[in-house]
Amino acid sequence: MAENSNQPRDYDAVKGGENSAPVGGVVLGGLEGVRMRFCSPVVEARVAALKEALNYGTFGLDLVIQALNDESMQIKKAAYLLLRERQETKVKLALKKYNHWKFFECLHTLEGHSHYVESVAIAPDGQTVVSCSPGDEGIINLWNLHSGKLRTTNLFRYSAYVNCIVISPDGQNVIGGGSQEEGIAIWNLHTGELKNTLRGHLYRVKSVAIAPDGQTLASGSWDKTIRIWNLHTGELKNTLIGHSDYVRSVAISPDGQTIVSGSSDNTIKIWNVHTGELRNTLIGHSDWVMSVAIAPDGDTLVSGSWDKTIHIWNLHTGELRNTIKARSSHILSVAISPDGQTIFSSGENGTIKLWNLHDGKLRNSLKEHSKRVNSVAISPDGQTIVSGSSDNTIKIWGVR
C-alpha cells in the first residue's frame, strides 16, 4: 500500500470530535500541518516542525533536506543535525558536498599545559586527544575528545622536550619526537609505559609519521635528514639525505609506498619508502615549507608554507594544481578531512581556516585562539577539529 503522508497518525489532531473518524473531518496534523508550521516566523516553531517532519517518511525527509538551503542559519544548522547520522542514499548525496563546516564553533577549551602547545593528535577510535608542549619538559597530556576532560598528565613524562606526536593506527602507542639526546620515544597509550627509544638523529626531531600498516615510522629532523624505522623492533632501516635545511614535516601516503617531506629549504621531496629513492623535488614555495599532508585518495598532496600560501599538488606527477593565498598569515600546519574534500590550515595569526580542496574557496574561519596555532588535527569521523596553540590551550571544535 502506498504511503499517504497526509493520513492522520496517533499524534495528529482531528477536527470533529474526540472520537471522530478522519472521513469528513479536517486533519490538523499531517505533513501539510508540518509544512504550515514550518512557515512560522518563530524559529523554534520551525525547528520543531523539522523534527516532526521525519515522522512522515520520504516526504518529510525531503522537507528537511530542502531546509539545508533555508535563508536562516539556525534552520540550516537544525536540518544538518537532524540529517548527519542518517543513512539514506539521498541524505548522503545531499551532505556530500554540503558546507557543514560553517556551523563549527569552539566546544571546549582545554587548559593543562603551562607552555605553548606544539602538537596534537587524535586516536583512531575518536575518543582521545594527545598533546605535547616542549616547554613542559616532556609532559604529554591525554584528554577526552568529547568532554574535554583531562584523562592523565605526567603519565608520559620524558627527560627531553617533545616537539611532535602521533598515535599508531592500532591506537596502542604514542610516538613523540624529542631532542637529539633522547631521540624518539614510544609509549603504551593506555599505561604510559615507555616501550622503546629510537636514537640516530643528530638534532631535534620535528615531525613523525606512521604508515597505515603500523610497521614503518618516518621522522624528520633539523639535522636535514629523514629516517625510516621499523616501529616494532626499533631498527633504523634507512636515512634519506637530500634537503639542504631543516626537515619540518613528513607524511606517508595511504598505500604506505611514498614519503613526502617539507623543508626550510623551501622544497618538498617525494621518496620511495622501501628503497629511499628520491622520486621528485617540488619547487613552488618561496619560503619554508612548514607542513605537508596527503589526501585519502593518495593522489593529492597539500603543503603549507611560511610564504602564506597553500599549494595543492598531484602527488604522482608533481603538477601544481592550485595555490591558495592565505595572505594574512604564515601557514604553520595543514590537515585534510577524511572525505578528502576540505583542507584545514592553522596560522601564525591564531586563526584556523577551512578551504575547499578542489576550488580553494574559503569555507570558514575559526577565531578563538589568542596566539599562533601550531597544530591542527581532524577526528576520523570528520566531526571534530582539535587545535594546539601558543596561548597554552587546546581547543575542540564541532557542531552543537
Answer with the residue of higher pLDDT: 15 or 142: 142
What is the identity of the amino acid at 313?
A: W
| pLDDT recorded at residue 160 | 62
State the pTM of this model: 0.87
> Are residues 332 and 387 both part of a single domain?
yes
- Do 88 and 129 fall within a single domain? no
Q: Taking Cα atoms as reference points, which of 215, 306, 207, 223 lies closest to residue 260? A: 207
pLDDT score of 159: 57
Looking at the structure, tell me whether residues 161 and 57 fall in a common domain. Answer: no
pLDDT at 18 (0 to 100): 37
Q: Are residues 167 and 303 in the same domain?
A: yes
Which of 98, 114, 137 delimits the end of a domain?
98
Going from the C-alpha of 312 to that of each of 260, 281, 302, 321, 343, the distances in angstroms are: 13, 14, 5, 5, 10
Which region among 191-205, 213-227, 266-280 has the lowest average model confidence (pLDDT)? 191-205
Question: The domain containing residue 287 runs over which residues?
Answer: 102-398
The three cell numbers of residue 228 are 625510516
**CA nearest 215: which of 226, 229, 194?**
229
Q: Break the chain down into helix, strand, coil percent, rounded to 5.
A: 15, 40, 45
DSSP state, 34?
H
Query: Which residue, 297, 313, 290, 250, is CA-closest to 373?
Result: 290
Please tell me the distance from the alpha carbon of residue 198 to that of residue 235, in angstroms, as a whole number. 8
Residue 153 — pLDDT band, cuts 50, 70, 90? low
23 found inside a domain: no
Could you report the per-residue pLDDT of 29-77, keeping only the tens digit for each?
688 899 999 999 999 999 999 999 999 999 999 999 999 999 999 999 9
Sign of CA pseudo-dihedral 306, 312, 315, 316: negative
pLDDT band, residue 9 (cuts 50/70/90)? very low
The confidence score (pLDDT) of residue 182 equals 67
Q: Is the pLDDT of residue 12 over 80?
A: no
| Pair (201, 62) in one structural domain | no
Mean pLDDT over 213-233 rounds to 95
Total domains, the chain: 2
Considering the domain architecture, whether residues 84 and 106 belong to the same structural domain is answered as: no
Closest CA to 145 of 389, 380, 392, 390: 380
**pLDDT, tens only, 286-310:** 999 999 999 999 999 999 999 999 9
- Say whether pLDDT at 6 is over 60: no
Instruction: Tell me whether residue 309 is exposed, middle or buried, using C-beta atoms within 10 angstroms of its C-beta: 0 to 12, 13 to 18, 19 or more.
Output: buried
In this structure, the strands spanning 150-152 and 140-144 are antiparallel
Contact present, 322 and 360 (Cβ < 8 Å): yes
Mean pLDDT of all residues belonging to the chain: 90
pLDDT in tens, 175-189: 999 876 668 999 999
Q: What is the DSSP string of 38-82?
A: HT-S-HHHHHHHHHHHGGGHHHHHHHHHHGGG-S-HHHHHHHHHH
Q: Which of 82, 98, 114 is the last residue of a domain?
A: 98
164 & 239 share domain: yes
Statement to judge: residues 108 and 152 lie in one domain: yes
Run of H or E residues at 389: strand 385-389
Q: What is the CA angle 132-357-206, rounded to 5?
A: 25
Q: Are 75 and 370 in contact (CB under 8 A)?
A: no
